Amino acid sequence: MRNDSNWTTDRRTLLAGAAASAAALLAPAKAFAADGLDAVRKAVAANHDEAVKRLQDWIRLPSIAAENKAMPEGAAYMAKLATDAGFQHAEIVPTRGHPGVFATLDAGAKRTMGIYFMYDVKQYDPAEWSSPPIEARLLDKEGFGQVVMGRGAVNQKGPQATFLAALHGMKKAGKKLPVNLVLVAEGEEEIGSPHFSDIVIKPNVLAALKKCVGVIIPTGWQSPATGGVEINLGAKGVVEFELVASGEKWGRGPKEDLHSSQKARVDSPAWRLVAALSTLVTPDGNTPLVDGFMDKVRPLTPRERELILLASKNLNEADAKRAAGVTHWIDDMSWEAALERLAAQPTINIEGLVSGYTGPGGKTILPSRAVAKIDMRLVPNMTRDDSIAKLRAHLDKRGFKDIEVNVSGGYDPTETPEDSDLVRAMQATYKRFNVPTTLYPRLAGSWPGVTFTGAPVNLPAGQFGLGHGSGAHAPNEYFVIKSSNPKVLGMDEAAVAFVAFLEEIAKS
């Protein structure tokens, strides 16, 4: 999902850097006096090398669903990580696709917290990396400190390993967790979670989740500029698919690649795909034109508009542009308008185009096949199935019945109430760690939170965590281990923050 050089602009955050009042910008690492977590802090520090090695070993086992690579091994390792961290029960759960993992930890507590993990990672090209992507080397990164670099470092193994470090720290400190835990993990998040519901609707898994206060996915999204984080009250849905034009399906053009001189008398599937794509959006590519696609879009509520206005004052536009690597927003719109569009606008995006020869130099052929990899982002009241049906009808109406629509995964948008115990616990923990916090209507990226917030589970769900990493889906992905930035927590203190969060859940 969301491909970009910075995690805060691709898969699970909205903008780099939440800023609040100057008084809130205290260095988090220096603000822990009398917080009651000293014993855990010492235990986590004593376990530091073990926790880092656990993360490195995990990165060195890349499970890639899109390539069917090491999926059984990834599930088995995920189950082992759970039992090593203190979960009394862990099982590998078969699905119609790749397996998941379900685990429970009974601490004898009154309240139970749900945790979502993913053990799969995105594909990678070693030639694009400055450090081998599965060696998980520890490196010094200017302005950040010691980082681990590798595929999955921030998306999602670094934050997840930090949560596991919190559990190991509690064990070493001889303390019981303040809540019981239910862990559900999948191996297909990076292909749109097509079978995640198979895991969640299993009777024993569903019964366990029904006891939870809510569900979080661990994150590490602190802004290096301010130390701030966003609490997202939802996330856009996503659909990933391919559009395929071929001479074979079309009945025109070549069934195999031809010499390009034949273009004078032979139709081109590549140009046919271009023609089909041009009907999906406005000429600038920024507004969907699929028939009926926008009909179910729910307008922003007054409260959502209020949150966006507050965010425009608290967040730094220059930081956001710098993180995204851009100098202009669409139509040179204002900062507030850009934030509003980020939360409210459905999108149809071309992830990649593949046809014919793409190597060095030229190769004069007329390709027999052309493929566009597409993702659509959906906002509340839109659904995956309805959006795909409208796309298919749109193409058919315009004479493109031969264009194949191959859906690989996706899910609906998700929302969580601002006044839920889950969000209140997040706010209380961030306040406890003196972290500037901005509420935002929804994540522009996507995660399968609707599996929890929708029927039959019906729980609040969102992202929580401190620390920092970047480069999800991109080369040189990293996660901070020892921070040299006083506004960003290193792995150890971020682990302690997870313990504090569980304490807030227990009190909620």
Distance of CA 456 to the CA centre of its chain: 23
**In this predicted structure, what is the pLDDT of residue 257?**
97
CB neighbours of residue 475 within 10 Å: 17
3-class state of residue 33 by DSSP: coil
- Predicted pLDDT at 4: 37
Whole-number pLDDT of residue 508? 85
pLDDT in tens, 239-262: 999 999 999 999 999 999 999 999
Which domains, and CATH codes, for the chain? Answer: 7-234+414-507 (3.40.630.10), 237-297+346-411 (3.30.70.360)
The DSSP output letter for 288 is B
Longest dimension (CA), the chain: 80
Q: Is 143 exposed, middle or buried (0-12, 13-18, 19+ CB in 10 A)?
A: exposed
* pLDDT tens, residue by residue, 15-61: 333 333 333 333 444 444 457 899 999 999 999 999 999 999 999 99
* 8 A C-beta contact, residue 206 and residue 459: no
Report pLDDT for 255.
Answer: 96
Residue type, 311: A
- pLDDT in 10s for each residue of the chain, 508 residues: 333 333 333 433 333 333 333 333 334 444 444 578 999 999 999 999 999 999 999 999 999 999 999 999 999 999 999 999 999 999 999 999 999 999 999 999 999 999 999 999 999 999 999 999 999 999 999 999 999 999 999 999 999 999 999 999 999 999 999 999 999 999 999 999 999 999 999 999 999 999 999 999 999 999 999 999 999 999 999 999 999 999 999 999 999 999 999 999 999 999 999 999 999 999 999 999 999 999 999 999 999 999 999 999 999 999 899 988 999 999 999 999 999 999 999 999 999 999 999 999 999 999 999 999 999 999 999 999 999 999 999 999 999 999 999 999 999 999 999 999 999 999 999 999 999 999 999 999 999 999 999 999 999 999 999 999 999 999 999 999 999 999 999 999 999 999 999 999 999 8
188, 120 in Cβ contact below 8 A? yes
DSSP state of 368: S
SS3 67: helix
SS3 category, 124:
coil
**Strands annotated E in 38-78:** none
Interatomic CA distance for residues 26 and 308, integer angstroms: 24
DSSP string, 298-356: PPPPHHHHHHHHHHHHHB-HHHHHHHHT-S--GGG--HHHHHHHHHH--EEEEEEEEES
Cα distance from N-terminal residue to C-terminal residue, the chain:
33
